[in-house]
Each structure stands twice: as C-alpha cells, then as structure tokens.
Structure 1
Amino acid sequence: MKTYIILLRGINVSGKNKLPMAELCELLKELQFQNVQTYIQSGNIILDTEESKSEICKIIKDGIFSKFGYDVPVIARTVPEWKKAIVNYPFPIENSKIVAFVFLNKKVYETKIEVNGVNDDEYLIDNDMIYIYCPSTFAKTKLSNNLFERKLNVTATTRNYNTTLKLLELATK
C-alpha cells in the first residue's frame, strides 16, 4: 500500500463549496481508503491505497460529486514526488511567506508563459509543478492558479511553503 497526498482545488474558499473535513474523511473511508487524515480546511488529504494516482483522483472526484454535489478537481502525489517537489524548489526560502508550490494535474512541456506585470515575482515551470516566489506578496501577484490553468490548459492548485512541509511531515509519520 502506498501513501498519497491529495489536493482538492476550490473547496472552502470564500464560502464556496463548503466541505467539512470530518464528512470528507468519512466519505474517503467509505470509498475504501486507509489511514485517512486531513490538514486544515482547504482540501489537503493524506491516505493509503493500492489504487493508481489517476484512479484515486477519479474515485475521490466522483465520490465528492455524488455525496456533496461539487465538481472538485483532485490532484494526487506520492510521498517521493512530494519530497522531490520540495527539494527542487529553485528560489530562496529565507521568507517562507513568499514561497509557494503549484501542483498541476499533468505534465506540461512549456517552460515560459506570457505574464504581464509580475514585477519581482518569479516562477519556474517544471513538468507537473510550478514553483513561485512572490516578494510582492501573494495578495498582489499575477501568478495565480487561474492564470496557469488558462495559459497551460491544466488544473492547478497552490500550497504555501509551510503547508507543503506539514503535509510531508504528516505523510511520513
């Protein structure tokens, strides 16, 4: 059995797609996932299963739609993939508040996209990841999930540095 870190996009954001984590855990256990745990209210899940990543995403997406009526994008990573994402972060990490990881639902081959007005903000596209560094702060950056989804034709969900590290810690306990 493998441990996976699962990310849901667009739940419990600004009052939309409210999904209590206790009910989500219950659903995931009903769907036969093992050792299910969630972290904070923004759709971070750790679980064990024999299923493939694509099958996990389909089962969870269909389960959430069936039980709650939400069409929620789901992205899965193995623990080694998660560790690799952290190790490969290319920018300074002195200030963790301006560091983020954008997880994509598929590999992309573009390395640059046209983005106007990024000022000192930087990004690096690396297969199924985008690393972002936002000295201007996340509230002001143009580097958003919506931008990456539109330009790269992917599903994207972002986690800050602290959340990314905490999910790894929980997945490796």
Structure 2
Amino acid sequence: MTTERYAALLRGINVGGKKKVPMAQLCSVVEGLGCTDVRTYLQSGNVTFAADGGDETSLARDVAAAVNGEFGFAVDIVVRDHAYLRGVMEACPFPAAELQGRQLHVTYFSEPVSAERFAGLDPAAYAPEEFRLGDRALYLYAPDGLGTSRLGARLSRPALNKGLIATSRNWNTVVELVELTSGV
C-alpha cells in the first residue's frame, strides 16, 4: 500500500464561538484513525495527514464520523490529496503572484460543478470581482477581500451549493496546504 498525503478541510468550525474544535484535539482524533504525520494549520479547520490506502470520500466520511463522535456535532469535510491540491494551485486562472492572499480564494467542492449552476449570476453586476470554475473548485478574485465581497456572499448561498459540501480558503492557505501535504 502506498502512503498518500491529504488535507481535510473542515467547514464552519471555530467561527463566532460555535462548533469549537481545539486543533490539538483534532490532531488526536485524526491520529486515532491510524493516520500519521498529522498537522493542523490555523484554527479554521485545516488538518494534513498521511494515510495508507483509502480514498478522499471514505477518508472524509471517517474523519467526519470521528469528529462527530469526539465533539458531538456534525461537520462537513472535504478531503483532497496533495496532487489535487497542487493541481488546483497551478491551474489558478488569476495572477496569484501579483495578488495579496486575501484577494484570492478557492472554494473546494465535494463533487464536480458545472457552469449551469451559476448561470443566473450576472458577472458584470459584481465587477471588478470575478470567479472561474476549476476541477471541483471555484476561484474567486475579490480585490477588497472576502469580508466585503458581494460576489463571495452570493456564491456562498445554500441554493448555489445545494447537494454539495463547499468550503473556502484564502490563497495563503491554499499555498500552505500544498506545502504541508508535499511530504517534505
């Protein structure tokens, strides 16, 4: 069996005092699943680890069940391997090197999404903000940051993400997750 490196992206923890998940405890939970080299990044639900076998979907399900068992609440989780995370970073349609990390975000989806899902959005209404779709990902350019982004708020509405797990990370986190899952 080949050991792969993954990142589990937990959605909506440690926000506004709700769904509190201490990172050290999260590491212990993931280690309890037999994963190794477990590390967290920030307090917003990023945990990287090495695992033998399994696939992203089953790993997400296992981590979610373990988190629910430990903390007593459900958390949506997307798990992606290093190759995928690196591919998303490299495929960025915006000039990431020229932007601040707070200006560029990636939303990771649990399933592929099509342009039809977003057909009702008029891009001109949100300019200069823009978004582009990628492989189970959405890239958002928000020049003033996500906190004031009208397009970001619209894209996060449940109707657009129905049937999906969707969780966003700023570009600094995207880059760090690639590094943390590189195995170096």
- In which range does the TM-score fall when normalised by the shorter chain? over 0.9
CA RMSD, Structure 1 to Structure 2 (Å): 1.6
Query: 3-state DSSP class of the match of 2:120?
Result: coil
Could you tell me how far apart the structure 1 residues matched to 2:104 and 2:10 are?
Answer: 20
Aligned to 2:89: 86
Aligned residue pair count: 172
Q: How far did residue 66 of structure 1 move?
A: 1.0
Q: TM-score, normalised by structure 2?
A: 0.87
Which 10-residue stretch deviates more, 108-117 or 152-161? 108-117
Could you tell me how far apart the structure 2 residues matched to 1:113 and 1:42 are?
Answer: 30
Which 10-residue stretch deviates more, 107-116 or 155-164? 107-116
**Is 1:169 aligned to residue 179 of structure 2?**
yes
Query: 3-state DSSP class of the match of 1:166?
Result: helix
**Is 1:121 aligned to residue 129 of structure 2?**
yes
- Aligned with 2:11 (options 3, 9, 12): 9
Q: How far did residue 128 of structure 1 move?
A: 0.6
Which 10-residue stretch deviates more, 16-25 or 102-111? 102-111
Show the 5 A alignment for 1:45-84.
45-49=47-51, 50-84=53-87
Could you tell me how far apart the structure 1 residues matched to 2:119 and 2:22 are?
Answer: 36
- Aligned with 1:28 (options 11, 27, 30): 30
Runs in 1 of length 4+ with deviation above 6 angstroms? none
Q: TM-score, normalised by structure 1?
A: 0.92
